[in-house]
Amino acid sequence: MIRKLSTLLALMMAFSVQVSANEYTNEAYAVYVDSMEFVTSPEGERQVQLTLPNLGQEPIEALIIEIAMLDDNKQPVLAYPANAEGFNKELRAGSISAPLTFSDPLQPGTKGIHTQTIGPEYEQATIARAAVIYYRRASGEEFYISPTVMLWNHTDGTRLTPAAGGLYYPGLTQEQHDLAYSFPMGFTSESRMLYDYLAPAYGLTEGGMWVMEVGEGSLAEKLGLKAGDLVVSVDGVRLAEDMRAFELGKTKMAQGETIEYVWVRDGETMRGTIAKE
């Protein structure tokens, strides 16, 4: 995976070209990884370069990309031990969690370029895979793509076609953001977006949010969560299908509702409910 990829370039270049429609052009893929290739930096570092066309109708100012490093058989190249701790580290390495911002908004009909440096722990990788999982318009509107229908592209020129054609769903409103952020659950976590091909390498069969640390006296502790748990559902919504469910659950609790959490611990499914105190 990537992001121990040494240098993370926060600003991306955009250039104006005529962008033609193809079989992936629809409202779901306003911006996606159209092509990618391995390149070498002037300093001799191995990098992967992504081309990102804006096929939508409005300027895009930022996006989030997930990248994975694979072998010749398109199996994940793991840099960490095959256990829960290693899986968490692999997620952090492969998921570019902070939005990457274009130096100037990416205008409709233009392409952006992002270049990512690959860390030495992935020197055995021969193929890189990447997908856009989130983008933000210049207007501030946010859109996420469901993990089950991401459009993945590879450095060998092949694409992983989504099973369901693609589905973007709107981000939270500012009011929802404010409510969610003002209502801490008291645990640190790593989301799983790389589950589809990374998790099987670790023997995992469920997607969700890994709990890394639980604060003493926190709502998470009172709910019963422990470090190493995998939260798979919030308020009846599977996180593998819609990662917004976690923040929306906090929003509802902030408004006085009781919310059910479902998590997995050592292969056992557990449930608990919690409300605002």
Rounded Cα distance, 36 and 38, in Å: 7
Q: Is residue 20 part of a domain?
A: yes
Q: Is residue 3 part of a domain?
A: no
Backbone angles phi, psi at 238, to 5 degrees: -70, 130
Q: Is residue 29 part of a domain?
A: yes
Residues 232 and 149 in one domain: no
Residues 35 and 66 in one domain: yes
Rounded Cα distance, 69 and 78, in Å: 8
| Overall pTM surpassing 0.75 (yes/no) | no
Residues 59 and 149 in one domain: yes
Residues 258 and 145 in one domain: no
Residues 42 and 130 in one domain: yes
Contact 132, 65 (CB under 8 A): yes
Residues 26 and 160 in one domain: yes
Question: Tokens 């409510």 — which residue?
Answer: 179
Q: Is residue 1 part of a domain?
A: no
Residue 107 is predicted with a pLDDT of 92
Q: Is residue 264 part of a domain?
A: yes
Helices first, then strands: H and E counts in the chain: 5, 17
Residue 149 is predicted with a pLDDT of 58
CATH number of the domain bearing residue 184: 2.30.42.10
Cβ atoms within 10 A of the Cβ of 241, count?
Answer: 16
Residues 166 and 194 in one domain: no
Residue 100 is predicted with a pLDDT of 84
Residues 147 and 181 in one domain: no
Contact 168, 144 (CB under 8 A): yes
One digit per residue, pLDDT tens: the chain, 277 residues? Answer: 333 333 333 344 444 434 343 434 444 567 888 889 999 999 999 999 999 998 888 899 998 888 888 899 888 888 888 776 677 677 667 665 567 888 889 998 899 999 988 888 888 899 998 888 788 889 888 887 765 556 778 899 888 765 433 344 455 676 776 777 666 777 665 444 445 556 667 666 666 777 878 888 888 899 999 887 888 889 998 876 776 788 888 888 888 899 999 998 877 889 999 887 7
Instruction: Give whole-number Cα distances, 117 to 75, 127, 190, 213, in Å.
Output: 20, 14, 22, 29
CATH number of the domain bearing residue 37: 2.60.40.3230
Residues 71 and 201 in one domain: no
Beta bridge partners of 136: 62, 142
Full residue range of the structural domain in which residue 251 is found: 176-274
With vertex at residue 112, the alpha carbon angle to CA 111 and CA 115, rounded to the nearest 5 degrees, is 140
Encoded amino acid at 256, one letter: G
Residues 197 and 158 in one domain: no
Rounded Cα distance, 132 and 106, in Å: 14
Domain count, the chain: 2
Q: Looking at 171, 199, 230, which one is the last position of a domain?
A: 171
Q: Is residue 5 part of a domain?
A: no
Residue 2 is predicted with a pLDDT of 37
Residue 121 is predicted with a pLDDT of 85
